[in-house]
A and B are shown apart, each in its own frame.
Chain A
Amino acid sequence: MLMFQDVKSRTDSDKVIVRNPLLGVVVSLALGIIAGEYCHFQLDVLFFLICFLLIVTLITKKESFVSGLILLVTVFCLGWFLCQAQKELQGDHVYHVAKYYRDGPVEVKGLVISNVTRKDSLQGVKTSFVLDVQAIKSPWGWHKKTGQILVDIFGATNINYGDIVKFSGKLHKPYEFAKTGRFSYREYLNRQSIKLILSVKKNAPVEILKRNQGSRFKANVFRLREYLKKKFTDNLTENESGLMCAILLGDRSNIPVHIRELFVKTGTAHILAISGLHVGIVAGCFFMFFRILPINRRCKLVATVIMLIAYMIVVEARPSVVRATVMTVTILIGIAIERESDFISMLSLSALMLLTVNPYNIFDVGFQLSYICVVAIFWFYPLFERSAKMIFADNRIFIVQVVVKLFCVSLAVWIGVAGAIAYYFQMVTPVTIVANILIVPLLSVVVALGFGMLLISSFVPSGAVFFAQCLKLVLNIKVGLIFLFSKMPGAYFYIERISLVHVALYYIFIVLLRIGIGFRIKK
């Protein structure tokens, strides 16, 4: 029960690491993964080292400090091992032979293992999906191959998840788009184990050999997601439904580019990615829905937990969603068993899960921003709130208190993510602090209305129009406000590229500042 603790048992003198052993494990694992990314080491040597360290840990189990330390080193090596193992390719991986097909088209056969997206591009409709390669054709016939590749077909097709398909196209490495920022498309795909792209021309023959060969569970998840998306497209305009699909279903592919830019410029792009706020509101909606049913409180909480996990699966379980769901589920279980959940342990558990499933998640911008946000709120918010209480001590107006709290959260998040945003996007967005005060409450209304619309339209389709009208109004007000914020003088500015050293110095500075202020307050 690392996640929960008795309130009375907490003392200020408890050390963070001792009280939260998971934190140490996560930090060691993360450091190991980073080491594995930059330093190469033989996989078998690492494996034997991990086994040896585990045996030593078991031998020294009586001396808790030494065995704890060795265990952390073991986890560090495990992180290193996981990272290296992710990089290793099988002997028959398609990547090994890709260089021989550089000059002409290659015929490939495989299973569609991802949702199929159809998007308007400069060349017309583009169909994209991930293909699990089964065979590749050479002048001497078909050869069995493995590995995953991204397929871009320039044209509309009726391919779906689980189909076994055959087509020919040009096999190449992902292109690097030399836009501003540090985002590397090639690295982004590499971290999902995709090293190659197959570009299929518009008129190239595409053959579907078999249907429904994938997992039935996954197929139903994709079907449900499409069904929910259709609910939005039926009741809202194209741009509005694109935004709602991003906010509630995690599909950001249909957000209009100029609207996405507005969100980025005002530092409110977090609204377009499902995070703690969204999951919290969705949990509230589910709980309110279950309140109608004649079941006891514990059952309602359990039902909410089940529905939240289902929601996480439907919206593609991205790092920020997993983090938020793990934390919300832990809090709900804590309420059900009447125990207080421990924040650091919750955060560590979610990070541990994400890093174990895919060690490369640590390099994902979404993962980093999500954790920085939460840590910044946890660490800075109490400090700002205390200062605000001193300034507004006599103010008893509810609205003022809410605005002050929102300002404190917004400021905490901005301080936290400013370094990462400046590093990845070469932007500083001071307007975020003010924008969030208005945008976050509106987002809560948008999520609740959107969720209500999905529920109502599933049971009473004609009733969805009432929710849709309210949703349209609030959503447009929200975008209108973001547009106005982006026009404010000094709202945002671009900066020159900064190095990792600058970012590290920034974070060291704010950590030292926070510790210093903390000490002064204690005194």
Chain B
Amino acid sequence: MEITITLRGALKKYLDGDNERKVIVPNGCTCDEALKVIGLDHKKVARFGFVAVNGMKVMINDRLKEGDELKAYPRISGG
């Protein structure tokens, strides 16, 4: 299925600096699995933050649907 992956901050390097890209991922896969398609294994990124689907924070193992926007944030510090 096709989804849009949007990356923020330091994570953008996983899309070669692009903010977002349409990506083909396995049907009904989890956020974790979708990110692995672009080479991002959140467990291996020290300052991985959180994921949001269609503008709402979700758990990393929540499943995606066709057309979803998956956004991944790095940790940001400060206030």
Whether chain B is bound by chain A comes out as no
